[in-house]
Structure 1
Amino acid sequence: MRDALLKALALSAAATSPAFAQDVPFESNAIFLGTLTLEGGPEVFGDNLGEEDGVPLDGSAINDKTISASDIERKNPVDLQELFASVPTISVGSSIPASQKVYVNGVEETRLGVTIDGARQNNKVFHHAATNLIDPALLKSVRVDPGVSPADAGPGALAGTIAFETVDVGDLLAEGDNSGGLVNLEYDSNGGTGSAGSAVYGRMNGFEALLYLKHAEGDTRKDGDGDGIIGSGTNLDSGLAKLAYQAPSGDRLEFSYEMVRDDEARPYRGNIGRIIGGRPVPDTRTYELERRNAVLTYTDETPEGWWDPKVQLSFARTEIELPEDAQRTFGRTQSLSGVFQNTFAVASGTVVAGVDFFRDEGEMDYVSHTNPAFDENPEEKLRNVGVFAQARLKPLDGLRLSFGARADWRELTGVDGSTHKEDGLSGNLAVEYDVTDAVTVSGGYSHIWGGIDLAENFIMNSGWAYPSGGFDPVTADNAFVAVRAQAGAWTFNARLFETNIDNARTASYGGGPALTTDLDTRGYELGVAYGWRDGFVRLGYANIESDLDGRAADSYSGNYLTMPLGEVVTLSAVHSFRDLGLRVGGDVEHVLENARTYDSTTRGRGPKIPGYTVANVFAEYTPKSMDNLVFRAEVNNLFDETYASRATYGQEFAGEVEPLYEPGRSLRISATMRF
């Protein structure tokens, strides 16, 4: 481990040199690039609380949950699980970032519209791997629209959207500063993982530039029983580069390039510890996973009248390679997408209208080293053009409306070269009303047309016969009602939600390209929080049920759809001792036993999924004499609980599947210096 830390430190020092422009290895143990802040107070706290708990702050955000810059800085997340911790309606499965998947209101992220800096992500490569591996250290914020999402969020957002936004130079530099940088070192005792990250950034005469690079590596981590977690070593690289120019006229052109690469021995089936029985396979195999994202954006930062344009062109690609002695399997998905839109200022708000497109491709290349007759290289292509409009209005005091519609035209090219065309309409409406100064109610509904989507790369079959009569297009209906009440420093919120997806494509290698499944999820969440000048405490609860084709969901049939999640309770608290430069806090997640499972053999109720309780604490210190230096120490899984995250695959298949367990107790320490 000493060698790993020395290597990480050397890479960190090199990365801070402006001449260092080559790819540099680094990891998921994240640092936050944004401005460090210890501000508090009920007013500031209320804004942060509202963003993270889905409480709307204005008419443009009636139904969103935003993980803000201050939330990310406070959490210091190393992966998606920690990023979304304390939001009980968002779950993340798997203890290994390379196979983590996000579930919003019980729906898997591939059924949502996912973007990074506005770029559409098309990452349904392999059901045992992550669909959107990202380093939280690169992020400025994450906005989630659960269920009901706006028309300008993009096509095919069946159950909502997730929009990741990376940091800009303006987020890192204080007013009047033109250059800066940072270096971060971090060590985690569980697995002996060392990481180093560094960034340089600056601006001059309208030009801006940012370069961030990071590397981490470590050994196998251990669960709460002291047993090694299969395939849990760390060897992850990520980086972010941005160039921008803003003219005196306000015209701004920005290019962003973001990447992440994981290359390590993983469980043979990346999101499963072991299959008990079945065909013999080794415990691990190498997963070479790489995702890249490039975005070119034009905006006018000083719009006048009705002219407030945004033009964006982006390209995203994800590749996974599985090299083995007897075979090699390679999968790639990619998406070229673009949007031209304009925001029209009207008397009571804004109207956004425009056109967007995407061209998605998915391919699998299988090579057998023992029998070339098994080799195949199937590929599907998908094209979409859409037009949309979304209004966000405040027609009366205390009343906020968001409504819109879009039309999409879609064409799928199958592995046999056949083409299949579909078109459809989508619409949404959300309303928020202040009953009193202290009580706000809201509600919304959307009908989404999703047409046809791509099949997973690793199950494509060159021999598929596509339906001559066309596909049954996937559609979704989403609804929610919510209430928020404020009483001094107290905030209370409650929300009911439901999503019904019909004809979700669930193609299989042997079953053909046109299989479909119906998904229904429903649930409710409750929350209460209390804030004071230097901190807050927040309690949340969610209960989510999922059905597949009218029966309780299971994780096998739920691939790319859902998980049997059940009840979750979250508790988080933070307090800052300003005079000492010290901030302390922690969070607790309590997941209740779930008896609502399905047994595919008996076609009845399956085994119960056990509950668990996990707690984490942290302390952060900034010396008065060096306010550019921050030390942080965390104890994660404080009570050394042995458990698998509720959203992790296979827990209801007792005796058949050994799920991926979460790491046991660990001490994580870090130091960040800004200059």
Structure 2
Amino acid sequence: MKISIRARLLATATICVAAPIQAQEVIDLDPIRVEADEAQEALGNSEITTEELTARNPQSIKDVFSGESEVTVSGGAAIAQKVLVHGIEESLLSVTIDGARQNKSAFHHTGNVLIDPTLLKRVEISSGLAPADAGPGALAGTIAYETKDARDLLEPGDEFGGIASVGYGSNASDFQRSLTLFGRNEGFEWLLSGTQISGDDYEDGSGNVVPGTEPDLDAISAKLAYTTETGKRFEFSAEQVKDEGTRAMQAGPGGLFFARPDFAGVVGRTSVYLPALSRRQSYTFTYTDEAPEGVWAPTVQLSWNEQYVEAGGAIGSNRSLSGKFENDFDLETGILTAGIDFFHDTARGLGQLNTAGSKETLNNLGLYAQMRQDVTDRVSLSYGARVDTQKFTLADGAEYNESGLSVNAQADVVLTDSLTLNIGAASSWGGFELSEASLINLGGAWVYGTPEPSRANNARIGLRYDRGPWAVSGALFYTKVHDVNDVLTAGRTLFDLTSQGFDGSVGYYASRGFLRLNYTYADVQMSDTTISSTAYYAGRPVGHIFALEGRYDINPHLGIGGTAEIALENNDTAGVGGMSALEGYEVVNLYASYSPPANENVEIRLDLRNLFDETYASRASDGIGLPAVITQLNEPGRSLALSATLKF
């Protein structure tokens, strides 16, 4: 495997950025006191912080995970983007927004959870090892998105504020604008936010226009909260995000056109370009006690959300009503989180070809407990279990009832002042899975096979070195999901899904900057064969991924930085199901941000994306490596983006 001259130029630039960081005074970190509930990178628990999100300036969910090698995101417009962890699609993970469960997409050519990243506060990713209180269905881990409240944005003493931003990108003439207003009065808080992104189809690195990729996203959200003098907090949030641009479609059943925004085209089929809609709506109520006394620290949550898709003839809705009641018991030996949760999910086909009664329902009730404790100054443990019981009702009226036990255990052992051992294992019961909503009873009543509940076994072991400005970690991981159901057909064919490999990270952190290189190798297989790039609701072939991220603050008003992704050629796919080897690529993004000394509430930012004008398709994208069947969807070429943000 060879790395091109562009990668060598990138390495040279890395040394140039690292030099001024090394020349300055660095932070000499004290030895870390490991806490059991702290996310540990070597255990696959990573966090994208507010500061990192600000530096990445995300315009889409793909930008959120720039610099993360274990997370890959497919390409194209927002409607098509899917998130994968170690090559496993997010529909096999527990995905939450502010703690509220999110359901999957209603059509396999569209993304699962449509998100406007404007108000994201942090993102926590657990790859493989999910604790019991992460919720049901965490077969291959979790993705937890958390959004900002008014109190996160208000300056001390202020009762009203706002953030307005505008941005323009040269490649697709895309125009982004957002406005967020927020305030508080005594114990009351409120927040209103809106975002719009519009533009034209982008060009790839070869200068070819990629039809059907125009950005057309609208998002609006609101939050209301009241906190009593004793710390009891009541919060309600509502959000709608939709993408409704013109997308590529090809003829399908019944003479209808079906959207495939994840492809540039289908070989042998003429593409037409028609409007398609992907929409997520969410409403959540949460009660927490932020000043608990004794062992009583409850959280109560009730949420409803819908993923709705109109993709030509594929029209469907996935709805989820979910809730939980849990308490953190602050015991002498640690913190015990215990509770009960539930969900009621519905998948419904709504197209003209879906016959009457095209609906499936899935009900789940779970009981769980997770203990986190520092056994000694050097040993921390996290262990727990949950029991779930499900009722699955198919469109033909057949019912299936099953229950399952999930267990997990993790240990963090301080070997020396700078070296820590991490080890963990989990067996997670996933239960049943709804069929794809838009395909249920498509063209006639389905004759079902027998659905089976799924189960995943996960293991991970790694070391972390942390001393002074350096942080180095490495871990071996293994995830195997048994009896994954094919949800695209009534037959319910079963297969096993495996992802195994290595995560590594080397970081240098100083007072005015950092430089970090992440590396992931994931060998993803379906029933002991390298997985296809069209294994929907399962995974994608990943291989070797490098992700580089850095930032240097020249002074308090001017900062520079960037990210890079390098995917090495993946030969494992050659000859598998008609696939070819997957080409490697190197993509570099740079930025500079400036706040005038006279007005620090203004930020001007310049982004240079895809610096080398690389022509490539994301390693996570659908249909790559199948040139005889699918024309792959290339990512945007070089783009110069200018944005301005005003805080008031």
Normalised TM-score (structure 2)? 0.91
The alpha carbon displacement at 1:459 in A equals 2.5
Matched residues in 1 for 2:89 and 2:357: separation?
Answer: 27
The alpha carbon displacement at 1:61 in A equals 2.2
Give yes or no for contact 1:618–1:633 (8 Å, CA) kept in 2. yes
Task: Indicate the SS of the match to 1:502.
Answer: strand
Give yes or no for contact 1:59–1:432 (8 Å, CA) kept in 2. no
Q: Where does residue 595 of structure 1 map in the other structure?
A: 571
Amino acid at match of 1:666: S
Report whether the alignment pairs 1:609 with 2:613: no
Report whether the alignment pairs 1:543 with 2:521: yes
Measured against aligned partners, the alpha-carbon deviations of 1:407-436 in whole angstroms (never above 9, x if no partner) come to 011001100111111111000001001101
Change (3 A) 1:574 1:474: same
The alpha carbon displacement at 1:648 in A equals 0.7
Matched residues in 2 for 1:408 and 1:112: separation?
Answer: 16
Displaced runs of 4+ in structure 1, greater than 3 A? 40-47, 55-60, 374-377, 598-602
Measured against aligned partners, the alpha-carbon deviations of 1:60-81 in whole angstroms (never above 9, x if no partner) come to 4243111111110111011122
Matched residues in 1 for 2:472 and 2:515: separation?
Answer: 12
Q: Where does residue 347 of structure 1 map in the other structure?
A: 332
Report whether the alignment pairs 1:520 with 2:498: yes
Report whether the alignment pairs 1:158 with 2:139: yes
Give yes or no for contact 1:41–1:535 (8 Å, CA) kept in 2. no
Change (3 A) 1:471 1:132: same
Matched residues in 1 for 2:614 and 2:72: separation?
Answer: 18
The alpha carbon displacement at 1:655 in A equals 3.0
Give yes or no for contact 1:494–1:526 (8 Å, CA) kept in 2. yes
Query: Which stretch shows the higher mean deviation, 472-481 or 56-65?
Result: 56-65
Q: Where does residue 599 of structure 2 map in the other structure?
A: 626
Matched residues in 1 for 2:55 and 2:25: separation?
Answer: 15
Report whether the alignment pairs 1:338 with 2:318: no
Give yes or no for contact 2:368–2:385 (8 Å, CA) kept in 1. yes
Matches within 5 A, 1:214-293: 214-268=195-249, 269-277=260-268, 280-293=269-282
Amino acid at match of 2:309: I
Amino acid at match of 1:105: H
Q: Where does residue 98 of structure 2 map in the other structure?
A: 117
Give yes or no for contact 1:285–1:322 (8 Å, CA) kept in 2. no
Q: Where does residue 413 of structure 2 map in the other structure?
A: 433
Amino acid at match of 1:516: L
Q: Where does residue 609 of structure 2 map in the other structure?
A: 636
Residue 473 of structure 1, aligned match among 446, 453, 463: 453
The alpha carbon displacement at 1:569 in A equals 1.2
Matched residues in 1 for 2:447 and 2:560: separation?
Answer: 60
Q: Where does residue 558 of structure 2 map in the other structure?
A: 582
Give yes or no for contact 2:86–2:542 (8 Å, CA) kept in 1. no
Task: Indicate the SS of the match to 2:245.
Answer: strand
Matches within 5 A, 1:2-21: none
Could you say what the CA RMSD is over the residues aligned between the two structures, in angstroms?
A: 1.9
Matched residues in 1 for 2:624 and 2:506: separation?
Answer: 30
Task: Indicate the SS of the match to 1:141.
Answer: strand
Matched residues in 2 for 1:154 and 1:614: separation?
Answer: 36
Measured against aligned partners, the alpha-carbon deviations of 1:362-402 in whole angstroms (never above 9, x if no partner) come to 0112215xxxxx75551100000010000010011021111
Task: Indicate the SS of the match to 1:110.
Answer: helix
Residue 346 of structure 2, aligned match among 361, 365, 378: 361
Matched residues in 1 for 2:297 and 2:491: separation?
Answer: 43
Give yes or no for contact 1:366–1:377 (8 Å, CA) kept in 2. no
Matched residues in 1 for 2:35 and 2:327: separation?
Answer: 23
Q: Where does residue 534 of structure 1 map in the other structure?
A: 512
Give yes or no for contact 1:492–1:529 (8 Å, CA) kept in 2. yes
How many residue pairs end up in the alignment?
A: 610
The alpha carbon displacement at 1:56 in A equals 7.5
Q: Where does residue 95 of structure 1 map in the other structure?
A: 76
Task: Indicate the SS of the match to 1:596.
Answer: helix
Matched residues in 1 for 2:453 and 2:647: separation?
Answer: 52
Measured against aligned partners, the alpha-carbon deviations of 1:308-357 in whole angstroms (never above 9, x if no partner) come to 0000000010111134xxxx442000100000001000113200001000
Query: Which stretch shows the higher mean deviation, 649-658 or 663-672?
Result: 649-658
Task: Indicate the SS of the match to 2:63.
Answer: helix
Measured against aligned partners, the alpha-carbon deviations of 1:96-153 in whole angstroms (never above 9, x if no partner) come to 2211111111211000000111111112311000101101112111111110011001
Amino acid at match of 2:83: V
Query: Which stretch shows the higher mean deviation, 639-648 or 77-86?
Result: 77-86
Q: Where does residue 547 of structure 2 map in the other structure?
A: 570
Q: Where does residue 9 of structure 1 map in the other structure?
A: none
Query: Which stretch shows the higher mean deviation, 221-230 or 61-70?
Result: 61-70
Matched residues in 2 for 1:562 and 1:75: separation?
Answer: 26
Residue 554 of structure 1, aligned match among 505, 514, 532: 532
Report whether the alignment pairs 1:198 with 2:179: yes
Measured against aligned partners, the alpha-carbon deviations of 1:590-632 in whole angstroms (never above 9, x if no partner) come to 1100000164556xxx411110111111000000000110000
Task: Indicate the SS of the match to 1:73.
Answer: helix
Change (3 A) 1:56 1:213: farther
Matched residues in 2 for 1:45 and 1:76: separation?
Answer: 28
Q: Which runs of 5+ in 1 are unaligned?
A: 1-39, 369-373
Q: Where does residue 491 of structure 1 map in the other structure?
A: 471
Matched residues in 2 for 1:598 and 1:285: separation?
Answer: 34
Matched residues in 2 for 1:520 and 1:149: separation?
Answer: 16
The alpha carbon displacement at 1:182 in A equals 1.4
The alpha carbon displacement at 1:559 in A equals 1.0
Matched residues in 2 for 1:221 and 1:664: separation?
Answer: 8
Change (3 A) 1:103 1:42: farther
Query: Which stretch shows the higher mean deviation, 516-525 or 170-179?
Result: 170-179
Give yes or no for contact 1:168–1:242 (8 Å, CA) kept in 2. yes
Measured against aligned partners, the alpha-carbon deviations of 1:515-564 in whole angstroms (never above 9, x if no partner) come to 111101101022111122100111121111011111111112x2111111
Report whether the alignment pairs 1:662 with 2:635: yes
Task: Indicate the SS of the match to 1:366.
Answer: coil
Q: Where does residue 61 of structure 1 map in the other structure?
A: 39
Report whether the alignment pairs 1:394 with 2:367: no
Q: Where does residue 19 of structure 1 map in the other structure?
A: none
Residue 464 of structure 1, aligned match among 443, 446, 462: 446
Give yes or no for contact 2:29–2:467 (8 Å, CA) kept in 1. no
Give yes or no for contact 2:36–2:374 (8 Å, CA) kept in 1. no
Amino acid at match of 1:630: E
